A = this chain, B = another copy of it.
Amino acid sequence: MDESVTDEVRALAVRARAAARHLALEPRARKDAALEAMAGALLGAREEVLRANGEDLARAEQAGTPANILDRLRLTDERLAQMAQGLRDVAGLPDPVGEVVRGSTLANGLELRQVRVPFGVVGMIYEARPNVTADAAGICLKSGNAVLLRGSSSARSSNAAVVRVLREAAADSGLPADVVQLVPAESRDSVTALMRARGLVDVLVPRGGAGLIRSVVEGSTVPVIETGVGNCHVYVDAGADLDRALAIVLNAKTHRTSVCNAAESLLVHEAVAEVFVPRVVEALQSAGVTVHGDGRFLAQDGVVAATDDDWGTEYLSLDISARVVAGLDEAVDHIHRHGTGHSDAIVTEDQSAARRFVAAVDSAAVLVNASTRFTDGGEFGFGAEIGISTQKLHARGPMGLPEMTTTKYVVTGDGHVR
């Protein structure tokens, strides 16, 4: 074992493994009962949790934390109710464990089944929001995994209170309390230890800013599921219905700006540029959006000149980069050069163009005549989402419960030998 795995994290992981072995054998009913108990316990512990959250908030205020970060850190009665409801929603979802993914009887009579089973121990590394603590615990428990939660140091009191409540509810339901454990957040050492605990931790899911995710991806020997940065594009084709195009661009950009599936870049086919560019610029500006454009867009009042950096920027704000392209191929090239492989949309009534765009664009989600905002576990009907993967290995796009499992082959014979 890597020497950067601290004794503390090693001990937590060993306990998680034992709990995971136990949890893997539990039927759905036991897991759902525990999730319901956790939801009830969280509401019952309202005062304790809000008091702990108050400590975090007071510390953060003293440290001069900006208001938007304070808001992410804050728990309220409404947010607690959402956390509880989230746990109940997960209880209502089908159990992915035991699902037969593939099965056949071989020519020699051997029965082959590929069956979903839990990973074992999942490590979550995440920032600020304490509601992720309950969400991740619920999704991991339902998918049969023990979880090691390494939240932000700024939320340490809130996380400790939430985890204490969840562990007690798990134990009251007859599960090992160690299915949910909090990893101390006092220093970065515990992040490094999780990243190097290969063989003890089965998979790591980092959630947070680009810097956090990059450092986990680059430094980890434990397999990682990368969740994503989204530099999402809307391409308005020559064959677009321009009313639809306008509605989709506005929605994708302005419906919610701080999320990874918001549009950050607009590409317009030159055949419709003369009509569409003035319309879309006016509509975006009316909605408070700053347009960072090149040549054709710059001719409009109020458009600021795009620099080379703009094409690769995930603004997460009321800004959009915009460019006129000579055609679909140039749009696809632009997306491949500057995109992050998250969500990219084409607006067109031209069936061949739609088909070509869908085939050529190599992203987790490719949308036709729909806003990029639809790339979301909730919108896709998954019921719960642990993040949106922008990697190609294992899971790509919104990740629900099945993505938090692996499979095993079960081979049953009658004394078969080769």
Contacts and interface: CB of A to CB of B under 8 A. Distances in A.
Interface in A1-55: 21, 24-25
Give the oligomeric copy count.
Answer: 2
Interface string A360-385: 10111111111101110001110000
Interface residues of A, number: 71
Nearest to A119: B392
A218 interface: yes
A412 B367 CA distance: 6
Interface stretch (A168-176, A241-249, A280-288): A241-249
Given A255-B418, A381-B104, A397-B408, A110 B370 contact: yes
A230 interface: no
A360 B392 contact: no
A78 interface: no
Nearest to A2: B218
B413 A362 contact: no
Given A379-B106, A408-B397, A251 B418 contact: yes
Contact of A415 (B104, B369, B392, B397): B369
Contacts of A380: 106, 112, 409
A135 to B, nearest CB: 21
Contacts of A247: 415, 417
A117 interface: yes
B369 A414 contact: yes
B221 A360 contact: no
Contacts of A379: 106, 110, 418
A190 to B, nearest CB: 20
Nearest to A365: B409
A223 interface: yes
Contact of A417 (B110, B119, B255, B411): B255
Contacts of A358: 410
Contacts of A25: 359-360
B374 A418 contact: yes
A223 B363 contact: no
A271 to B, nearest CB: 19
Given A112-B380, A393-B393, A364 B409 contact: yes
A248 B415 contact: yes
Given A241-B415, A363-B408, A409-B365, A221 B218 contact: yes
A409 B397 contact: yes
A202 interface: yes
Interface in A184-221: 198, 202-203, 217-218, 221
A417 B366 contact: no
A120 interface: yes
A393 B394 contact: yes
A407 interface: yes
Contacts of A217: 198, 221
Contacts of A412: 354, 367-370
A373 B83 CA distance: 48
Contacts of A59: none
A269 interface: no
A406 B396 contact: yes
B106 A381 contact: yes
Contact of A407 (B218, B243, B396): B396
16 contacts: A21-B360, A110-B374, A112-B381, A120-B392, A223-B391, A247-B417, A250-B417, A347-B415, A366-B411, A369-B413, A370-B411, A370-B416, A373-B417, A393-B406, A396-B408, A397-B409
State the 4 A-B residue pairs at the shortest beta-carbon distance, nearest first: A370-B413, A244-B415, A251-B417, A392-B406
